[in-house]
Amino acid sequence: MSLSVPKNARLEIKFVSYAANFNELMNWIHLHPSGFYSPFPDRQVNNVYFDGYQYTAYTENLSGSSERTKVRYRWYGESIEPGAGTLEIKRKRNYFGWKLYHRVKNAPYRSGMNWCTIRKNIRDQIAEHGRLWLDLNPFPILINRYLRRYFLSGDGKIRATIDTNQAVWDQRFKSEPNFLNRANLPDTLIVEIKFDRKDREYASRSIQSLPLRVSRHSKYMTGVNTISAN
């Protein structure tokens, strides 16, 4: 059955480049006639990606499936240890993307806990729908983190984020979280442009001069490929 796209789904376009192009990109942002500004401060983003034991989410992306789902637990801040955050069900159909959120008010991790307990602590704090997705994707694959910068056009129609300083830690086949052995990622930056479907033409014109090329990219895919190669 085809995945139905909700009315609030946004179009998402990604650009990937070497970190050395950061200054050129920031100049484009600051000089753009749309008047981009930062609506709130930069944040350190942290995620645990969960998948099925058959790597369903990875396989969907690898095959280029038009309908994809990822399950991740996200928290913000400098600590790599999972704190209070949100279980996110990230859904995508073609260029449309949307998320289902399940808030976790209490930190699911304390020193010495294993992944089974961490997952249970998340599961106990969310609704049945979120539990179902976590049960279907019980395998913690990796932790990744990056610095995210936020931008919004003056008219509020275009949202942009720039992610840099990426890092990833392999969690496969480990009973307890691995916070020490970091894998080697290429030094890249990722730009995501998001806008409502009614603003497609306007957004397309606005980003024509962006000094980067559109690129199919997934931080989860890049992370899995990296930890598999290390």
The predicted-structure confidence for 74-132, as pLDDT tens digits, reads as follows 999 999 999 999 999 999 888 899 999 999 999 999 999 999 999 999 999 999 999 99
Domain ranges of the chain: 10-229
Confidence at 3, pLDDT banded by 50, 70, 90: low
pLDDT for res 93: 87
**Section 4-14 average pLDDT:** 88
- Amino acid making up residue 67: E
pLDDT for res 163: 97
pLDDT in tens, 137-187: 999 999 999 999 999 999 999 999 999 999 999 999 899 999 999 999 989
Which structure tokens are listed for 178? 């691995």
- pLDDT at residue 1 above 50? no
How far, in Å, CA of 52 to CA of 58, rounded? 9
pLDDT in tens, 131-141: 999 999 999 99
How far, in Å, CA of 226 to CA of 183, rounded? 7
pTM for the full predicted model: 0.94
**Section 57-66 average pLDDT:** 87
- Assess if CATH 3.40.190.10 describes domain 10-229: no
- Amino acid making up residue 181: N
Distances (CA, A) of 50 to 58, 120, 195: 10, 13, 27
- pLDDT at residue 67 above 70? yes
